[in-house]
Amino acid sequence: MQVILEPYALGIISALLAMLFFGVTNVIYKKMSESISVMDIMFTRMWVSLPVAYIFAIAASGSITFTIPVESLFPLILSMVIGIVIGDGMYFYSQERIGVARAFPIAMSYPLLVYLLAAIFLGEPVIPQRVLGAFIVVFGVITIARAEQDDTKNTNRWSSDDLRIGLVLAFLVLICWALSDVIFQAGLVGVGPAEANFYRILAASLMLVPIFLYSFKGNRMVPNKRAIIFALATGTVGLGLSLVTYSFAVKFVGATVTSLIVASAPMFTAPLSVFYLDEDVNKQVMLGTLLTIIGVLMVVFIV
């Protein structure tokens, strides 16, 4: 019994840590949005997370040289490209247009799709309580998406076009993150989570090199020194540590449970966006966030 419980407990703890790392640094990145571009954030956090991933992989494998099965490389790399390179990139653009308090809860409903895909392709059991929880989460997301935008600060901050684009991007992020998680779980079969995480980040880092060089064409503003240092520090925690803990969570408790725990992050990001970013969160956003959290809890805690 002890052998069975230990990996599960490690997976839950890892998922909780990933949720905290991702949620808090997400709000911090939003605070930096005027000082550093979305692409610079992506480049910086990816490359600074690579040595962090390597250190964890060495610690887990017990060797400075480690390998994984060749057949696992494709799904692991594909999941990284879909989820982190494409999905996260769209998410940053989304939150610039509709704010963290709206973009984050919408994108964080992706566990619903993870559950569906896992049931179809990975044999995840369909439990009535989880289905009900899924509907509650969907209703919460719709409530957030349709939140009134008539307050003065939000009207001045985001145009109607920004709101529409931001909502579309947030829902596309939902799809990317769900596909990424399911593919990642499939690729983790027979592979250590720390080693898999390193190869994923290595592949994404290399892919971003030509994009980074191309971004210097035209009138490109280079972020100031303070913004770069800030991005390096938060990138270490926000991607370096969050991806390591997320990898262990998916390995030990699966993509569905992990994504659902991470999806509870709006309980932290919504109040943080009020006090730290001075965003106006109206009653509909608060209600939608609360419903999203309740639905997630129903899916996680099966009676």
What six digits make up the tokens of 206? Answer: 């290399």
Lowest-pLDDT choice from 31-35, 40-44, 147-151: 147-151
- 200: confidence class by pLDDT, cuts 50, 70, 90: very high
- 163: confidence class by pLDDT, cuts 50, 70, 90: confident
DSSP E strands, the chain: none
The CA-based angle 132-135-140, given to 5 degrees, is: 130
Model confidence pLDDT, tens digit, residues 84-126: 889 988 998 898 888 777 887 788 889 889 999 999 999 988 8
Instruction: Determine the average pLDDT of the residues in 26-47.
Output: 74
Computed over every residue of the chain, the mean pLDDT equals 83
Helix, strand, coil tally for the chain in percent (to 5): 80, 0, 20
d(CA 200, CA 143): 35
pTM above 0.85, yes or no: no
- 192: confidence class by pLDDT, cuts 50, 70, 90: very high
pLDDT at residue 170, rounded to an integer: 92
Higher pLDDT, 141 or 182: 182
Phi, psi of 63 (to 5 degrees): -150, 150
pLDDT at residue 130, rounded to an integer: 83
* Domain boundaries, given as residue ranges, for the chain: 2-300
